[in-house]
């Protein structure tokens, strides 16, 4: 975008340029458009150049070119997410019901304080984002969602929650977990993400990614439980039972002492979370990219149908603000935002809007079915409508951004 500050042409006549505002990239193909009305334009090309015209290429080759941009967005997102997973300790959360507000649910008595939601419609819930994405998928609906509930250590059962115009308001969509009829609290799961330098737990046999299930036979469900249980023991070591690769193992672990606010407390010397290998990180990057792509497409459809407020749409002002806010928090949150934006761009680029790659693919599909391309006149109307739609969308998004900051 903006004036070209550097350009270079190769032996085939392809020009590469860097503009003053490098806000993304674009490719201008050698095209036959306009040659029907302007014979001189066609005559200016050599036979070799005419054979290289984009419309003269096989349909699969053209489709591959059109898909290259969105695929680059998805590949970038996978790479960024894999880097984040491989270079950070990931905390898993337990979604615990702390109180029941809906009188109907309370009267049924099927849910209780202390129950844990482990999955929604078969989708595992391990953090706030998982929870919100699954709930937002049902915004505006009157159907049912099935909650997988864990009560105690091994008691699992399904609970069906009936929805009625669920998350119909924009306010509700901002914090969907507050509109289920019961209060939730996210607590850290007791996985070992690392050890302090002085911790004796590794020598005792504990490993990163172990899940602590009991200390001196007292059940541990959350990371917070560890600190509470530890203060009831006076011994210099404790028996710790962990879950490792589906096996339950028990170790005698020497404790450390630490002075906190003038009080001497006993600690194991561990941090909460899990660490991922490079292979696991790559798999999670692919999985997250697929999930977020599917959710983005679903939410776009809900905005079009009106079941999700279009006020959720952000423009360049909102994106810049989000980028600035996350950059202040740290490099990993900033990279995560970049991955989400890359996924969004990839999905939106595949929508059947004429000026986007998805629109080009739509025209190519029409050509394949029809046996010949649309006339330049029809294509002109098609592209004009696309530009109007994109510009209107951008204006609306910027208007949303302005309203947020007023």
- Most confident stretch, 62-71, 135-144, 375-384: 62-71
Number of domains comprising the chain: 4
Beta strands 116-120 and 93-100: pairing type? Answer: antiparallel
Residues 289 and 403 in one domain: yes
* Claim to verify: residue 221 and residue 305 sit in the same structural domain: no
Please compute the mean of the pLDDT values over residues 345-362 and round it to a whole number: 85
Residues 262 and 163 in one domain: no
Of all residues in the chain, what percent carry a pLDDT higher than 90?
A: 23
Q: Examine the domain organization and report whether 72 and 117 are in the same domain.
A: no
Both 238 and 153 in a single domain?
no
Q: What is the pLDDT of residue 280?
A: 95
Contacts of 262 (CB under 8 A, 6+ apart): none
pLDDT at 199 over 90: yes
332 and 285 share one domain? yes
Domain boundary among 188, 221, 252: 188
Look-up of token digits 């510009």:
391
Token pair listed for 182: 């019961």
- Note whether 316 and 379 are same-domain residues: yes
Closest among 54, 53, 69 to 351, alpha carbons compared: 69
Of 91-95, 280-284, 295-299, 360-364, the least confident? 295-299
Share of residues in the chain with pLDDT > 70 (%): 84
| Tokens standing for residue 49 | 């150049």
- Is pLDDT at 247 greater than 90 in this prediction? yes
Number of CB atoms found within 10 A of residue 114's CB:
12
The answer on pLDDT for 230 being more than 70 is yes
Look at residue 315 in the predicted model and tell me its pLDDT: 47
Burial of 346 (0-12, 13-18, 19+ CB in 10 A): buried
Task: Please answer whether residues 8 and 16 qualify as being in contact, where contact means their C-beta atoms are separated by less than 8 angstroms.
Answer: yes
Say if residue 356 is in the same domain as residue 376. yes
- Residues 236, 168 share a domain: no
Q: Is the predicted pLDDT of residue 1 greater than 80, yes or no?
A: no
CATH code assigned at 213: 2.30.42.10
- Report the pLDDT averaged over residues 79-101: 91
Rounded to whole angstroms, how far apart are CA atoms 36 and 45?
A: 14
Q: Are residues 317 and 387 in the same domain?
A: yes
Better-predicted residue by pLDDT, 44 or 54: 54
pLDDT at 42: 59
Last residue of a domain, one of 147, 164, 188: 188
Question: Can you name the residues that pair with 243 across neighbouring β-strands?
Answer: 211, 248
pLDDT of residue 403 exceeding 70, the answer is: no
The pLDDT of residue 18 is above 70: yes
Query: What is the average per-residue pLDDT within 351-368?
Result: 85
Same domain membership, residue 302 and residue 222: no
**DSSP letters of 369-386?**
HHSSPPPHHHHHHHHHHH
pLDDT-derived band of residue 317, with 50, 70 and 90 as boundaries?
Answer: very low
* Averaged pLDDT of the chain: 81
pLDDT band at 323 (very low <50, low <70, confident <90, very high): low
In terms of C-beta density within 10 A (0-12 exposed, 13-18 middle, 19 or more buried), how is residue 230 classed?
A: middle
Q: Is the confidence at residue 83, as pLDDT, over 70? A: yes
Give the per-residue pLDDT at 333: 83
Residues 6+ apart with CB under 8 A from 231: 265, 266
**In the predicted model, is pLDDT for residue 234 greater than 90?**
no
Q: Does the pLDDT at position 286 exceed 90? A: yes
Coil, strand or helix at 318: helix
Of 252, 272, 292, at which residue does a domain stop?
272
Overall average pLDDT of the 370-392 stretch: 76
Q: Is the distance from CB of 167 to CB of 176 less than 8 angstroms?
A: yes
Q: Distances from the Cα of 406 to the Cαs of 119, 204, 399, 400, 402, in angstroms?
A: 38, 58, 11, 10, 6
Model pLDDT for residues 326-353, shown as the tens digit of each residue: 555 678 888 888 898 888 889 888 988 8
Residue 266 has pLDDT above 50, yes or no: yes
Whether residue 318 sits in one domain with residue 241: no
Q: Which domain holds residue 61?
A: 57-89+277-406
């Amino acid at each position: 975008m903006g004036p070209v500050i550097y350009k270079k042409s190769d032996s085939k006549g392809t020009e590469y340029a860097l503009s003053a505002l490098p806000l993304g990239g674009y490719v201008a193909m050698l095209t036959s458009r306009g040659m029907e009305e302007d014979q001189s334009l066609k005559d200016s090309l050599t036979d070799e150049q005419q054979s290289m015209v984009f419309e003269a290429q096989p349909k699969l080759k053209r489709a591959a070119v059109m898909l290259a941009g969105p695929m680059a967005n998805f590949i970038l997102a996978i790479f960024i997410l894999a880097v984040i997973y491989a270079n950070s300790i990931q905390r898993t959360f337990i979604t615990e019901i702390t109180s029941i507000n809906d009188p109907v649910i309370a009267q049924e008595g099927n849910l209780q304080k202390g129950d844990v939601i482990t999955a929604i419609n078969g989708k595992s819930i391990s953090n706030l984002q998982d929870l919100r994405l699954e709930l937002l998928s049902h915004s505006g609906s009157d159907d049912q969602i099935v909650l997988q509930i864990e009560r105690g250590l091994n008691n699992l059962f399904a609970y069906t929650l009936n929805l009625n115009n669920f998350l119909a308001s924009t306010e509700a969509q901002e914090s969907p977990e507050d509109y289920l009829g019961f209060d939730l609290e996210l607590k850290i799961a007791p996985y070992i993400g690392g050890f302090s330098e002085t911790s004796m737990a590794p020598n005792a046999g504990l490993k990163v990614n172990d899940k602590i299930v009991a200390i001196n036979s007292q059940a541990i469900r959350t990371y917070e439980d560890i600190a509470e249980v530890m203060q009831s023991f006076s011994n210099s070591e404790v028996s710790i039972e962990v879950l490792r690769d589906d096996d339950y193992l028990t170790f005698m672990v020497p404790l450390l002492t630490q002075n906190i606010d003038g009080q001497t407390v006993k600690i194991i010397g561990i941090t909460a979370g899990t660490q991922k290998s490079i292979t696991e990180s790559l798999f999670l990057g692919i999985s997250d990219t697929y999930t977020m792509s599917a959710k983005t497409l679903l939410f776009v459809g809900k905005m079009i149908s009106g079941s999700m407020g279009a006020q959720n749409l952000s423009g360049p002002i909102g994106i810049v603000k989000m980028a600035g806010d996350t950059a202040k928090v740290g490099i990993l949150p900033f990279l995560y935002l970049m991955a989400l934006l890359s996924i969004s761009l990839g999905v939106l680029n595949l929508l059947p809007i004429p000026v986007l790659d998805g629109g080009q693919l739509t025209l190519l599909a029409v050509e394949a079915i029809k046996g010949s391309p649309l006339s330049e006149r029809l294509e002109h109307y098609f592209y004009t409508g696309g530009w109007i739609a994109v510009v209107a969308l951008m204006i609306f998004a910027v208007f949303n951004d302005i309203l947020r900051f007023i």
